[in-house]
Amino acid sequence: MPYLTTQKGISWNYEIDGQGEPIIFLHGWGGNLRLWSGQVGYFSGDYKVMRMDLPGHGQTSWKKMNLSMMARDLEEVAKILEFQQINVVGSSLGGLMAIQWFDLFPKRFKRMALVGALPKFLHSSNYPYGLELKQLKKLDGQLETDYPAIVNIFFRSLFTRQERQTSRFKYFLQSEKNETIPQKKALREFLNVLEKEDLRKTFEKLNQRSIPLQILSGTDDPICSKEAVSYLQRELPHARVELFKDCGHFPFLTKPQEFNEALEKFLNDS
């Protein structure tokens, strides 16, 4: 696997398939670049598909950094690889990172797709979406007492009951057994990021620039709920919204064909 080390000392593990306009896929908390395997073959015929392990996940090294520093690192990676404008698809935490990257370097972006992602993941008095603080604190505590098993338990909880009964889900769990477990210190630091980051103001810039934007979400996503999707529609009126029936947090895993077709149509139409 290729690695690229930035000036801040992060050794980013990535894979590139295909040629053409770049699409960068960013996974979420506790995942790795393998989560996007169902998108590689579909898009690499027409695009340069790049998948990356986030810091402390998969084969990418870890160094304590805030979200802004990580976004600047991603920009450095794009420059080193001589990418011009890019398409970014971010799932969950990867979507939050994409929003931060856009906030700092808006001219880099051609299109953006957010999968089960929010600009703020912590529920508050003026923002009734995302996760409760007690949920994040509980998960953080469980990482101390039940790591790494809790990572798998939490991951499973983000799928619907119907999804967990499918052969695709069972195959996915089996394949994940051979993957590198994320570093505990990275997982805990990213929970801190999810607790504190609030990028709602970046929506103003997204609306001003009117870059093509797509929101993809499962109808039964426990994090990015239907109410949260309605909020995103109100705040980002130019965004295209795709809902996947009976799906949880990862529609690209359980309904890859449907997901890929929706994403492809967005890329072709915008």
Q: What is the pLDDT along the chain (270 residues), one digit of tens a residue?
A: 689 999 999 999 999 999 999 999 999 999 999 999 999 999 999 999 999 999 999 999 999 999 999 999 999 999 999 999 999 999 999 999 999 999 999 999 999 999 999 999 999 999 999 999 999 999 999 999 999 999 999 999 999 999 999 988 888 877 777 778 999 999 999 999 999 999 999 999 999 998 999 999 999 999 999 999 999 999 999 999 999 999 999 999 999 999 999 999 999 998
3-class SS of residue 14: strand
Q: What is the sign, positive or negative, of the torsion defined by CA atoms of 237, 239, 240, 244?
A: negative
Q: Which pLDDT score is estimated for 169? A: 87
8 Å CB contact between 202 and 104: no
For the domain with range 3-269, which CATH number is right: 3.40.50.300, 3.30.565.10, 3.90.420.10, 3.40.50.1820? 3.40.50.1820
Q: Which residue carries 């799932």 as its tokens?
A: 91
- What are the sequence ranges of the domains in the chain? 3-269
